[in-house]
Chain A
Amino acid sequence: EAGVAQSPRYKIIEKRQSVAFWCNPISGHATLYWYQQILGQGPKLLIQFQNNGVVDDSQLPKDRFSAERLKGVDSTLKIQPAKLEDSAVYLCASRSSGTTDTQYFGPGTRLTVL
């Protein structure tokens, strides 16, 4: 079974530029999460999708961050414009429906904003 795929793995941009990350969850997983992990901290949830609908985006800075999962499969997370404090690893995770609560994480995208 293939794991969660993310691209790119690394991205360096200057502040005020835009950037987009892509995630393809494990096949059949209805729930998809985007997390932000700043160096030395635990992952912080940005947004949770159930199929193509948003379940929780309460911690997403909506003035600059946006995310979509139009067909309920893969997802993109965009930052526009980026700030220095957005430097972090952006992790995508997915979970199957049913009783299991296990989240499977992708390798992440390491973003550096200069």
Chain B
Amino acid sequence: GQQVMQIPQYQHVQEGEDFTTYCNSSTTLSNIQWYKQRPGGHPVFLIQLVKSGEVKKQKRLTFQFGEAKKNSSLHITATQTTDVGTYFCAGRQTGANNLFFGTGTRLTVIP
């Protein structure tokens, strides 16, 4: 079955440092989405990537979809305390109905 792994599982950074989380799928994906979940909250949609090699930016966040459409990354430049939370990737296997969520990366930002 499809598996979506993320590394690292946890990341502690000083405020102002950069942060990157990586997402790897065992199968080729038709698209990949990224969600953020604040402590005690629910997942909130950030972005969707569809094309091979696609790169999208949202202010300090940069999202990338791999050429083979099996991996993705999220990079945050100059982290702020508001970036705290768990970041999940979620991939849809080609032809499948549903999303498989990754294991998540929990980000802590030390002020």
Residues of A at the B interface (CB closer than 8 Å) are: 33, 35, 41-45, 48, 55-56, 91, 101-108
- Flag if B99 contacts A45 (CB, 8 Å): yes
Chain A residues with CB below 8 A from B44, complex form = 105
B101 adjacent to chain A (CB < 8 Å): yes
Q: Is the CB of B42 within 8 A of A91?
A: yes
Q: Contact between A104 and B45 (Cβ–Cβ < 8 Å)?
A: yes
Question: Cβ of B99 and Cβ of A103 under 8 Å apart?
Answer: yes
| B74 CB, min distance to chain A CBs, angstroms | 14
A91 and B33 contact, CB distance less than 8 A: no
B88 CB–A CB distance under 8 Å: yes
Q: Chain B residue with minimal CB distance to A89?
A: B42
Q: What per-residue 1/0 map shows which CB atoms of B99-111 lie under 8 Å from chain A?
A: 1111110000000
Q: Which of B4, B42, B98, B101 has the most CB of A within 10 A?
A: B42
Closest to B102 in A: A42
Q: Is B92 an interface residue (CB 8 A)?
A: yes
Residue of A42, A45, A103, A107 with most chain B CB atoms under a 10 A cut-off: A42
